[in-house]
Structure 1
């Protein structure tokens, strides 16, 4: 059951909070806290509305909606001139007509040719405009290729009452097209239309002469003057196209619709439109196949009606309604007793309470006089004593005449100072609302909305003369004469303080969603669109729940409005699930919430013998301390186990509330008690994705904890050192990541603190930062020369600024959008700076580099990179460093991966640097969350050796040499740095094959590696040199990561990750083979070659399995001397520390 509904297998873990699924693999406490805050806001809102218990649970399971932008226009309109009809034209008579044809197999990308109008293209054009020629050519292409597409035109031409077609090309075209269609047929009219545009010569624009020429040549009997002249009888419905176009709400011409759905601006380009139409036809074919298979579409179904009767089809597409940023009123308030007529008290209320008073005192026009539940509540806001306000009221009433879901209320927003004279119409509207039944109210309001009525009232006519039959005249007249102006002042203040409208401005509120100020005319179709998108989302479900509650219809309508406003105002959420279990007697642990209080519904599914259970147990304990929750815990155990499922001890450090640390308080603690003493243990920290955490103190080797040999308690202290600024960057033109693009992060006083490069993988980038405000910008050089930042999301800057201010106050990613500068379209940030440059450009480039202190080429520095974890390998690492220094006169800078260095090493390294005169830097990079994770520390370290070379070091570093910690260097590495790589991004030493007795262990000589390498060498990763400039330019890092992502899903692949990956990619990322004497290893190389060795690697021997310490002293005599020298330094530092 769980697998079928949620894809949860035995052994999997999952957590649901109020039906929202929490992914145990990716969640962090901060995202969970955000979820709890939003859920708490919704629950408090429902509680304040008087909803509790099971009713609240029903509302919490609703999926909040977004206002969809994929609405379609109804194309069943008489102004569309269809040039073909798949169902009736002889051209398609040989095609099958059955819907079952949709289920037959076709070639990929094909569209079934069926004699049904399932695909409809409508083109909106002005015949006399240049773009029309492209649309005509597209229609011709589809028509003559017999594409199963019905094609229609809406012609927008001059709408003046009298137009001479002999002087207006658009009108001439319209009348000629009508003549041919009436005298012959629409397809003949289309063929003639093509001929007219074939004659277009001057600037691709149709002329009257082109129209006349076709009429005279093709229809010699036609009287051109009568057809095109002012009194032409072929002028019928000339204004209909323009009227329909205006009514649709579509943007500037040209426009096109496929099955009623519009195209974006980029798709309306002639070259793109053909592809866009065909793509939509393929998508529709798949949709139709599904409908036929499900039985909802059959041969008796009218094709166009089937497409146009869908919920997303509307009579008008208004961007104001569909795309306006959501702004919701808070309709939930505690007991507010203020009277709508008490302006003085109202003025002191806050926005929430002002809104509550307005909602409570609102009177509505509904469909019936009694017991009607309205799902959509519309408030129209205007000055109804102005023509614009009355027009809004008239169109709202027109909508109400056919609406089945809406009720209508009015809010008065007078333009000028309020008095009885300038509120005559508004007072009439209000008095009618207060005294009349719906059936009479509607007719009277329609009368008041007419301009002639308002003109008469302002001219001195009594308003009672306009009362309609059946109205309660006495009640109306009494209320009209005693209303006063305080209600209007209250409404005006609400508009000003809450809706932020100026006097007289127009707006609409639909179930709490406010749209305004509105500058354009709103038609009845706009109200219909507003009702449709409100009702077809979550409101229908809310209505179903409310109707099951025992309250009267007025309160039901109010509750639907308030719940919808609450639910819809919250950010878009993932889908909610109704999680139930087939059996609950023995596999479910239930914990009831505290009574008489609202509670969170928590469902935990977990196998108790898994890493997820270790996390979830502590999480549930903490949740139980901070929220009231009803818990169901399902034990999702596996039936069989092939090995021990848990191989680690786990503590989750999460406190229910913030801990303020005193001087003697060490803060949150993870304690491991009663741990077995015999196993060899490693202590690791698992942190949220956006954190860089460092070990600052430990009293033993955390990589090799053997409790049996340790008399005291093992302690370690960790520190949150950096928060990551993560993001994704895209080129808005290509919609692809601009790989190789470089960014810097800094402050006003220090513009460049860190820099990075954009990966091709998802356009990802990360930068080390801390809480506060930072400046993110393109790095000086090719990145800044070629690109410009044109947009960004999740930052704290205006969209159009080049230097982006980023306030690091959350762990959410930032989105950057860039675009090439107009004069740099053909340039590429990954090309060599000096390629294709003239001498003057070279001089400028050289001069610029001289002034870039940060980017100055450090050719006189040997950059050595290494990694180590655990005290033993740190001992080897110090000896390797000393051997490098003893064999070179070139200044050296060591780069160490900080992630796994012990506090002891980090404490000692400054003293070594001072004594031996070298530079050093600790680098770190957080393994991206989207890249397949490794769980074993050794494999993680291997990954850092190869996967992040392009982003691990500052961009000013051009070349780096990796040296394994367990190597002894006997030669000047400057020679390796200067070695010619012949265009390859890196150079590796091949494995030796001179020690023949080890042939049985040379795995690369057989199987996969033998066939993959094809007699090429398999290279060892203990020593390699990287040309970072070349490496970045060919995007080698992106290629390696992509291949790693593909191969690492298989646990049997990449067994030696750091060297298998580059050897696997040898044909995509070239390796320069270094001379064999650069790396000598006793396991693989014979004794004779040792004399020529420039470095000695203490690699493992699978045959003898000799310990490395023993092997080091035997193989390299100088290793003992180096070790003793460093030991003296460490002893001296320890004594100084004790005596300090």
Structure 2
């Protein structure tokens, strides 16, 4: 047989080779670049990615530090190449990487290595080195602002002249040695192969100089003599399609029964047996020979045509066959049946199917159709509830998903959350960080010029919210007597832009646009400012007078009239205001209205430098009205907004509405602490030991040793936990803590000292008193004492020589407090200072707030975090996932202190994770007869994988090998539902298929690395047919 091979692989790589034999075809995919060293790929692999997460503050710095520790560990590793086999050398690399990775991450590293997914990155670095170009016969070299050298002796000379040459461009994947941060020193790029002696020589010199701050040391990989061998790649599929007309359904009304054929045909040969001769020689064995012939026909690889009635149950018969074997062989059988279906179809026709299985499949299909939208025959894959579309995703993107999920799964596991609780927390709908916040406009500071619902000009408009659903021409703004749309303008009256904004507001008002218009005047709020000398204050007081004595519409008309008297390019003046008052209100007492004692001095806010463009505002407002109309229509249709609803209240109750604006709190650029480490010890009294912890361990120790102010002596569970950081011997730190304690009824508050200088007993009296009260007093007593202690009066008394014991309050345990205070040393304060410096990146004395792991700060010298800011932060934290996490943790039955800690840690973990699509909770009504179950290994992190697949579909051809490899790479709890189609009328698959994917690098019997994965088609049909790849 000669197979016709057609190559149509949608990859930007060349085909290595395709060979054919009478019963086999082998195909492989060869890269265009040379084989790259495993050690260098490890640098780009999960080791690099996982150590360089940007989810937590300091993680990049900490990860970079760990990477260089890995480099120091393997800097001379290539010497082992000489005496070790390739397999042993590879295992050594994995072992070295394992010092910095968890077991799960090591498995993902092996999977990445098998895919060679980071080989292109290594090759890209090699190409960059080639573009320098490298000096001849140079195994490693440095590039210093364009000048090259192969010797460490030339570095000093090249550095001297580097300042006169341009700084080289650096790339995202470049590794910079963690030296002294500076931009005023030369950049030295080392091109070398990690693990070689030449690299070690350069690395020693450059790392020492970088630590001194005399240069910036950047590493790029360079192999002086790359292997010419091209590597075979993985992660692709090969299909051997059948073009023969023999493989088709046969109308059973036109073909005799096979049993009749078997009896009548005395000359046919099947797999070497001539049944005509056998029947003549052994007439007494006629029935046995017929059965033998049928068995041989069904076991042969030949593609025997099936009758229509034989095909109807093939899908469910395949499922029954798969579920009948031991469960750990089931996926392999599914792969064999789906990928070799043309030659396996005949054998499936004899499989009996239980009625229970048919009924269960139908019930599950009905349920899945209603809940997930999956129909019979569809193929779907879910990993931890995330939908994996195999038409979109490939092994490389799935590796990225596995790696992203690993951090959350391991975090939950390390926090002690396992089993069903893990799945429930993982599927919580964590709100994505959004910057489209709205301000609550139910504030008396706003001067509303009109009211759509009550003002006479709008009485003829309909009032029903159902009017929103009435059909109109596109672009038409519906005139409904409801305050659906509200515009608030914050104006500084004397700014030139205010003229156009007021005129724009008048335009909307005049043309009866259904827009409620309000003003907030941004003017000088100092009490001693006189309206007769400050035009903004005078304007503002005049308008208040007109609004109070006349009406708001008259105030708007007056505003426009005043601004009409301002020439283009000029601003409002005191003289303009005085002249207007004399002309329009000649009998009024201007002094009474404009003076410092004016009664018309409410509703003003401090000046802000932000501006808006009046020319664009009209278009923006009208577009916003049109966009918001859609949201209102949806709310009316869903019954959320009814005729009895107060529209403004409905608007202000939306999740994105906040009571005040604070860019620091509302920023989308958020950093979180990582609480998931499990340090061996939790020591912070020993500052030296604490200094050796990495960032995650420091955070874990501080979290474990933290004590909290709470709102009652029952120590109830808190959804929000805040850490207050500052120098509490300074006014700014004490004020920050006082504001936090005033907000305390809604959260638990801990304190961390970040003193401006070196802590000592003399300069830490107040903070040691705070900590002593936390350690010895009941919640209410400790909170009341500290609130009194951080006030300015108490601070002044302490400075005047008053003792702490003289400030103690009634109801406190004085003896316990004094004993703890007098024995409390300052080492733990030094450890807290190290935490602020190394983890939070704060300078000594700087303040910050941490809310459920989210860091806000450092605060500027004049920046105040008020009680209202704490309330806003509380609202934003709760709206993320804190409230939902609290509800899930509450059912775990933990003690309140432990439960609050767990809420804080889980909330930080989930909120910091990248936001993707919504996780689906796929459930099966019954799973006894139609679902394959594979249980995870106990006491290990596991992925929850749910597959829905018809075993005789293209999805099964892809999914079965993927699930096999997935179960080899990570610990999985796997459920595979056989989503079979009933009453097939044609052959479900008409091709042989191979998915080339391996879980780890393969080696040959002689311990050399395998040339690479290949797609093998063995035992192909012997019948003449046309096949194409």
Instruction: State TM-score, norm by structure 1.
Output: 0.56
1:440 paired with 2:785, answer: no
* Match status 1:242 vs 2:605: yes
CA deviation profile, 1:464-514 (whole Å, cap 9, x unmatched): 333333222332233222212122112111112222222111112111222
The correspondence of residues 797-946 of structure 1 with structure 2, limited to 5 A, is none
Tell me if 1:61 matches 2:427.
yes
Matches within 5 A, 1:218-237: 218-234=584-600, 236-237=601-602
Is contact 1:53–1:598 with CA below 8 Å preserved after alignment?
no
2:558 aligned with 1:195, yes or no? no
Give a deviation string over 1:351-385, Cα, whole Å, max 9, x none: 22222221111110112211411111100110000
Mapped pair 1:365 → 2:709: yes
CA distance in 2, matches of 1:539, 1:658: 43
Aligned 1:81-92 pairs, distance under 5 A? 81-92=447-458
Question: Superposition pairs for residues 1100-1119 of structure 1, below 5 Å?
Answer: none
Shift of 1:583: 4.0
**Residue 498 of structure 1 corresponds to which residue in structure 2?**
839
What's the counterpart of residue 198 of structure 2? none
C-alpha separation in 1, matches of 2:623 and 2:409: 44
Select which of 548, 560, 570 maps to 2:891: 548
Q: Matched residues in 1 for 2:687 and 2:504: separation?
A: 63
Q: Tell me how far apart the structure 1 counterparts of residues 376 and 801 of structure 2 sit (CA, whole Å).
A: 82
- What displacement does 1:89 show? 1.4
Residue 508 of structure 1 is matched in structure 2 by 849
Residues 312 and 324 (structure 1), Cα distance of their counterparts in 2 relative to 1, 3 Å cut: closer
Structure 1, 525-534 or 143-152: larger mean CA deviation: 525-534
Question: Which of 999, 1002, 1015 in structure 2 is aligned with 1:670?
Answer: 1015
Distance 1:104 1:163 in 2: 53
What do the CA deviations read for 1:1030-1074 (whole angstroms, capped 9, x no partner)? xxxxxxxxxxxxxxxxxxxxxxxxxxxxxxxxxxxxxxxxxxxxx
RMSD: 2.3
Q: 1:19 touches 1:577 (CA, 8 Å); kept in 2?
A: yes
Aligned pair 1:450/2:791, yes or no?
yes
Paired residues of 1:622 and 1:656 also in contact (CA < 8 A): yes
How far did residue 42 of structure 1 move?
Answer: 2.1
Match of 1:103 among 469, 479, 482: 469
Match of 2:536 among 170, 177, 192: 170
Match of 1:26 among 375, 392, 406: 392
Aligned to 2:519, the other structure's residue is in SS state: strand
Map 1:953-964 onto structure 2 (within 5 A).
Answer: none
Matches of 1:38 and 1:436, distance apart in 2: 43
Distance in 2 of aligned mates of 1:580 and 1:140: 58
Instruction: Provide the rounded CA distance (Å) in 1 between the counterparts of 2:990 and 2:710.
Output: 67
Pair 1:391 & 2:735 matched = yes
Unaligned runs of 5+ in 1: 246-250, 255-267, 685-1140
TM alignment of 1:360-439, pairs within 5 A: 360-401=704-745, 403=746, 406-439=747-780
C-alpha change, 1:641 and 1:418, in structure 2 (3 Å) is same
Aligned counterpart for 1:517 among listed residues 847, 858, 882 = 858
2:1026, 2:886 → 1: CA distance?
59
- 1:599 and 1:231, CA in 2 relative to 1: closer, same or farther beyond 3 A? closer
DSSP-derived class of the 1:452 partner:
helix
Say if 1:197 and 1:210, in contact at 8 Å, map to a contact too.
Answer: no
- The 8 Å contact of residues 679 and 701 in structure 2, kept in 1 or not, is answered as no
3-state SS in 1 of match to 2:554: helix
Which whole-Å CA distance do the structure 2 matches of 1:160 and 1:624 have between them? 69
Shift in Å at residue 635 of structure 1?
Answer: 2.4
SS at 1:651's partner residue?
A: strand
Change (3 A) 1:166 1:514: closer
Offset of residue 429 of structure 1? 1.4
Counterpart-to-counterpart distance in 2, 1:229 and 1:28: 74
In structure 2, how many angstroms separate the alpha carbons of the residues matched to 1:641 and 1:144? 69
* Structure having the larger proportion of residues in helix: 2
Match of 2:823 in 1: 482
Residues in 2 aligned to 1:655 and 1:534: alpha-carbon distance in whole angstroms:
43
Match of 1:584 among 921, 924, 927: 927
> 1:324 and 1:425 mapped to 2: Cα distance?
36
SS of the aligned residue for 1:138 comes to helix
Query: 1:270: Cα distance to partner?
Result: 1.9
Alignment of 1:24-173 (within 5 A): 24-173=390-539
CA drift of 1:660 comes to 5.7
Shift of 1:285: 2.2
Query: Could you say if the C-alpha distance between residues 149 and 344 of structure 1 is closer, same or farther in structure 2, counting changes exceeding 3 Å?
Result: same
Q: 1:473 aligns with which of 809, 814, 818?
A: 814
Q: Which has the higher contact order (CA 8 A, sep 6+)?
A: 2
| 1:130 to partner: Cα distance | 0.6
Distance 2:437 2:634 in 1: 21
In the TM superposition, residue 131 of structure 1 has moved relative to its aligned partner by 0.8
Q: Where does residue 925 of structure 1 map in the other structure?
A: none
Equivalent position to 2:610, from 246, 253, 258: 253
Q: Which moved more, 1:345-354 or 1:197-206?
A: 345-354
2:912 & 2:1028 partners in 1: Cα distance? 45
Judge conservation of contact 1:133–1:204 (CA < 8 Å) in 2.
no
Name the residue aligned to 2:638.
Answer: 294
**Residue 915 (structure 2) aligns with:** 572
C-alpha distance 470-118 of structure 1, shift in aligned 2 (>3 A): farther
Give secondary structure in 2 for the equivalent of 1:32: helix
Deviations 1:685-739 (A, max 9, x none): xxxxxxxxxxxxxxxxxxxxxxxxxxxxxxxxxxxxxxxxxxxxxxxxxxxxxxx
Distance across 2 between alignment mates of 1:275 and 1:660: 66
Tell me what 2:870 maps to. 527
In 2, Cα distance between the equivalents of 1:467 and 1:664? 74
Is 1:339 the counterpart of 2:683? The answer is yes
Q: CA deviation at 1:640?
A: 5.4
Q: Distance in 2 between matches of 1:461 and 1:679?
A: 104
Match of 2:298 in 1: none
Q: Relative to structure 1, is the Cα distance of residues 176 and 637 closer, same or farther in structure 2, using a 3 angstrom cutoff?
A: same
Q: Which residue pairs with 1:557 in the alignment?
A: 900
1:671 aligns to what SS in structure 2? strand
> In the aligned structure 1, how far is the partner of 2:491 from the partner of 2:793?
37
TM superposition shift of 1:241: 2.1
2:958, 2:985 → 1: CA distance?
23
Instruction: Specify the alignment match of 2:980 in structure 1.
Output: 637
TM-fit CA distance, 1:291: 2.3
Alignment partner, residue 233 of structure 2: none
- Is contact 1:343–1:487 with CA below 8 Å preserved after alignment? yes
